[in-house]
Structure 1
C-alpha cells in the first residue's frame, strides 16, 4: 500500500531540530505520511528568522516533487514577527510558486485556541521578551486576551531541542499560575516537545492546552478534511 494513501503532508521545519517532525510521526493517523524540507535558522530573532523565511519557497519546491497535498510552514515566529497579514502572504506565495495549499504554524495556534472557545490565554514560549511581545500582539489582534506570557529566553534554535517534554509542563504550570485565570495555555515553539505531557497539563490546570506541534497537526488534518481524533493530545481533538 502506498505511503500517504489518505494524505501526504509536507512540513518545512528548521534544520536544527527533528523533535517536531518525530512527534508528528509518533501519532500519525493510519494512511497519513509526511515529507520533510528544512530551513537554516541562525538565531531565533528578527534577523535569523528573515534568513529562515527567505528559504521557504525553495523548501516548498522540494516538497512539491513529493506530490504532497498540503504544505505546512513551521517556525511560528517567521510569520508573527511580521505582523498582521504575514500568514496569508506566505501561504499565497507558496501556492503561487507550487500550486499546493499551505497553512502556517502561527495561524494554527490561533485557529486551535478559537476552536476550544478560549477568550484568555496564558502563553509559555522558548522565546526572548521582544519575540514574546510580537507574539502577544498577534494573539490579541486575533481577539484573544493574553493573561500572562513567559519565555525561556532562547536564541539558539538548537537549544530548544535539549528540553524534554516535562520542561513544557513546568513552563505551562508556571505561566498559568502567573495568569491567575485563563481559559487556555499556549506552548509556542515547534522544536519544544509537548506531546507526552499535554493531557497532564490539562488535567492539573483545568485549562485547554494548545501547543505548536499539536495545533498544527490538528489544523493540517482538518484542512485536508480528515476527522481523526488523537485524544492523548488533549481536548482540542474533540473538534
Structure 2
C-alpha cells in the first residue's frame, strides 16, 4: 500500500515540513514542502512572495503529491476572503489537484466545532490583526477580543513558549465574555501543547493555524484526519 503524499507551501525559505505534520500523523502520511522565502510577517512581506505560490504548487505536483495547501494563514487572508477563494481556485486550476489554504483551514475548523463567537490570540502586529478581524467577519464569524504578540520576524515566531500562548489565550477569552471557543492564528507558532492545555483549562474548543492546516489538507485529500489526543478538532 502506497503512503499518501501531500504537499505544503510554507513561508520560510528553507521549505521544511512543520513539526505538527509528523506529530499528528506519524508515518501514515508523507509530507513534502516548498518555501516561499517570506521576509517578514507583514503586508509588505506577503506582497513580495504571493505571486510565487502557483509556481511552488506546480513544483509539488511534479514531485507527485495528491493535494496541496498554502500553509500560511496571513499569507492567504491578508487581501480578504474573496482573494483567498480566488487563490485556492487558481492553485487547483493550475495543478489539477485538490488545493486549500490555511485560511480555509481555520474557518472550516471553527465551523466544525460550532464556534461562531471567537476569542483570538495571534503572533501578529496590529496591521495583520486588523486584516484577520476583517477576514473572520467576512467569513461570518464574530471575533470578540483579538490580541497579538507583535512579532514580524519569521524565525522568531517558532520560538514562542507554550506558556506565553496559554496566557494569551486565557487573556483574550476572559477579556470579553461569550466566546464559543478560541483561535490561535499564525502557522509559524508551535501550538499542539498549548491547544491541549487551553482546552483543559478553559473547557472550550481551540483551533490553531498549523494543526488545522494539516487537518484540512488531509481531509482535502480524502483521508482520515483524526489524531486522538491532539485536541477536539482531531478527536
* TM-score relative to the length of structure 2: 0.93
Q: Equivalent residue of 1:132, what SS?
A: helix
Residue in structure 2 matched with residue 222 of structure 1 by the alignment: 219
Cα offset, 1:228, TM superposition: 4.0
The CA deviation string for residues 65-91 of structure 1, in whole angstroms up to 9 with x for no partner, is 211111010111122111121222112
Cα offset, 1:164, TM superposition: 2.7
Counting matched residue pairs gives: 235
The CA deviation string for residues 139-192 of structure 1, in whole angstroms up to 9 with x for no partner, is 112111111100011112121022133332222112112122311100001110
Residue in structure 1 matched with residue 132 of structure 2 by the alignment: 135
- Kept after mapping to 2: 8 A contact 1:127/1:154: yes
Q: 1:36 to 1:20 in 2, by over 3 A?
A: closer
- In structure 1, runs of 5+ residues without a counterpart are none
Cα distance in structure 1, aligned partners of 2:160 and 2:81: 30
Residue in structure 2 matched with residue 114 of structure 1 by the alignment: 111
- Kept after mapping to 2: 8 A contact 1:19/1:193: no
* TM-score relative to the length of structure 1: 0.92
Residue in structure 2 matched with residue 87 of structure 1 by the alignment: 84
Q: CA RMSD in A?
A: 1.8
- Kept after mapping to 1: 8 A contact 2:16/2:34: no
Cα distance in structure 1, aligned partners of 2:202 and 2:165: 14
Q: 1:184 to 1:17 in 2, by over 3 A?
A: farther
Cα offset, 1:98, TM superposition: 2.2
Is 1:195 the counterpart of 2:192? The answer is: yes
The CA deviation string for residues 33-76 of structure 1, in whole angstroms up to 9 with x for no partner, is 10110011112111110112122122112211211111010111
- In structure 2, runs of 5+ residues without a counterpart are none
Q: Equivalent residue of 2:187, what SS?
A: coil
The CA deviation string for residues 199-220 of structure 1, in whole angstroms up to 9 with x for no partner, is 1110101110000011111111
